[in-house]
Amino acid sequence: MKRTGFLLGAVSGLAVVANTDTVFSQALAQTVLPGLPGANDRVLLVINFQGGNDGLNTVVPYGMADYYRYRPSLGVPQSDVLRIDNVVGLNPVLGPFKKMYDAGKVAIVQGVGYPDPDHSHFRSTEIWQTAQPKGYESTGWIGRYLDSAGLPKDNLFNAVALNNVLPELMISKTTDVPAVDALRGYGLRSDSSATNREAFHEFVRDTTVPFRSPFLAQVAEIEDHAQRGAEELPKLVAGYKSQATYPTTALGRSLALAAQIVGSKLGTRVLYIQHGSFDTHVTQKQTQDRLLTDFANAIDAFYTDLAAHGNDGRVLTMTFSEFGRRVPENASRGTDHGEAAPVFLIGGGVKGGLYGQHPDLAQLNMGNLPFSTDFRSVYATVIERWLGRPSAAIVGGTFSPLTALA
């Protein structure tokens, strides 16, 4: 019997998506591919640059004259670029991140996008999170991975969204995923006392109730998971001692909590964090520089912390944004919704360097960068080479993995 996915509304600081199907998909229920990696202690961290990060002012094509022609005021001066080669370099606010790149800990995948791109935040976000450019999917690509991975069903923390809402990419059919904004205040609302919870469970068990819903037992199960998770998580991570100084920002706090979860070895395979908004239609430089500075400092602290505990090789970080920005700057010293943009792969298993072809600024798609790398190839790389799962059923087709992971 198919069930409808939903969020448990009576939760503060916690969201759990219900299982939406009682049976594993036979196409996904497979063992780890022979010869592929996927050790049980590996973790994937996904960071969403929400709002549409401008890739051209992140990985700057300073060696292309058209870049400065299109961006007379927004273009990063050549003398400021943190150069990677004779064509591209990093925004100067990414200094700590550039040091990670120079140490071989960062792979930059250029020109990532998908066919017939959509410029709507909502639809493009949905496409990236479900891995379905055509039509609609009820589950996210991470959710489908979780359903296929054979993870222990009694573990409440197989995946965790460090966010105040559950992202679509983590919606699954058989795996409940908590969304934890912060440990403080994480738990059920204060009016959900033990007495009230027991009364609700008694109502679910009462066969004399004149109406019955197939979802009542499911809601009760999720409520139980939420309550136990709220009680257990702070205790499980309490012994972890951070060995880095994180920025006192939302991203810094989320990455500090991510390091706690990784270091406490709760069996978590996937973590999610959202950073932004990068929707820079007006006065882009101030907003993007602030957000990229925060990212560079926070991710550097995160991997410093992980390394101090011997965990840096266990965690692969992948960034994405729903789209890049248009190539020409607008009249408000900002940029509008565009198409292709770079993706970063950081940390465990990465073979550092540039991957994919940077889009040609002389060959634009109505003012936008055409994509040169399908985003599903990046996902296939992560799924197969890091998590050790077959990728075709998860991403909806066969896409060749990149060589960016060992």
List for the chain the helix, strand, coil content (%; round to 5): 35, 15, 50
Q: Give the pLDDT of residue 335.
A: 98
Q: Give the pLDDT of residue 370.
A: 95
> Residue 99 is inside which H or E element, if any?
helix 95-102
Q: pLDDT of 13-53, one tens digit each? A: 344 443 333 333 333 333 445 445 556 799 999 999 999 99
- In terms of Cα–Cα distance, which of 224, 207, 67 is closest to 156? 224
> 49 in helix, strand or coil?
strand
Low-confidence residues in the chain, pLDDT < 70: 1-39, 184-230
DSSP 281-309: SSSHHHHHHHHHHHHHHHHHHHHHHHHHT
d(CA 87, CA 62): 6
Q: Please, where are the H alpha helices in 114-244?
A: 121-130, 141-148, 194-205, 216-237
What ranges do the domains of the chain cover?
A: 11-395
Q: Give the pLDDT of residue 198.
A: 62
Q: Does domain 11-395 have CATH number 3.40.1350?
A: no
Tell me the residue ranges of DSSP E strands in 29-113. 43-50, 59-60, 82-83, 89-90, 106-113
d(CA 377, CA 403): 10
pTM of the model: 0.86
